[in-house]
Amino acid sequence: MPYFTTSDGTEIYYTDQGQGQPVLLSHGWPLSSDAWQIEVKLLADNGYRAIAHDRRGHGRSAKTYTGNDMDTYARDLSELIEHLDLTNLVVIGHSTGGGEVVRYAAQHGVGRVAKVITAGAVPPLMVKTENNPDGLPIEAFDGIRAGVLKDASQFYIDLTEPFFGANREGSAVSEGAKREFWRQGMLVNLAAAYDCVKAFSETDFTEDLTALTVPIFIAHGDDDQIVPITDAALKSAELVKDGTLKVYPGAPHGIYGDYQTELDQDILAFIKK
């Protein structure tokens, strides 16, 4: 399995499949690059080089106690991309990964990144503050931290319900999809899982979004119970210079089913355009 060692000695796992223009995918919390398996194959099948990494502390990467913050995540990504010498690069991020690729593209990726795609992404800022009164109260994120500390395994099982919209009438999400979410979640070490909550909820990406000069496709389900669209995609679309917003009616946070099928075709179309 391919690993890359960052400048602070952290081993990062990644998968690299296909040939052609590079497309790098960044996963959400508490998952791993396995969350992108369908997209990696789809991109490789369509003539692209698909790369997906496990964020530090997640999946098969080193179980880090330090560096579980958005600046370090973006730096890790930058070092991996420089190591692979990727140019004309498309970066794709879901949820926390959306924040990671936006920060990378804005602060490290000038001259390398051609396009950005986000889905259910956390920018510009999730938590409620004086300058972000529409955000979610800090107590919501304190509850996530408490759940992870008390019984991470059960917490991840419970989280699959709102994540996939399985608590909505007519949901068709499979038991297998929920178990796969749990499996990936259980690979995260506790310190990384705990600290990443602060990273995805309290990092302000406003300046990163305004700094982007490349086209960005912003995808979001309007029934996202994890990252509400009004606090995220709708605001992000107003901040970027060259953005395309697409709202997926009834779609949850998790990329699955009909939402995944439509999103994947939109990803291919946006890259090709």
Catalytic residue among 78, 95, 201, 236: 95
SS3 for the chain, per residue? CCEEECCCCCEEEEEEECCCEEEEEECCCCCCHHHHHHHHHHHHHCCEEEEEECCCCCCCCCCCCCCCCHHHHHHHHHHHHHHHCCCCEEEEEECHHHHHHHHHHHHCCCCCEEEEEEECCCCCCCECECCECCCECHHHHHHHHHHHHHHHHHHHHHHHHHHCCCCCCCCCCCHHHHHHHHHHHCCCCHHHHHHHHHHHHHCCCHHHHHHCCCCEEEEEECCCCCCCHHHCHHHHHHHCCCEEEEEECCCCCCCCHHHHHHHHHHHHHHHHC
Spatial CA neighbour of 5 closest among 60, 85, 83:
83
Catalytic residue among 208, 224, 231, 236: 224
Whether residue 224 lies in the annotated active site: yes
Whether residue 94 lies in the annotated active site: no
Whether residue 58 lies in the annotated active site: no
Which are the catalytic amino acids?
Answer: 95, 224, 253
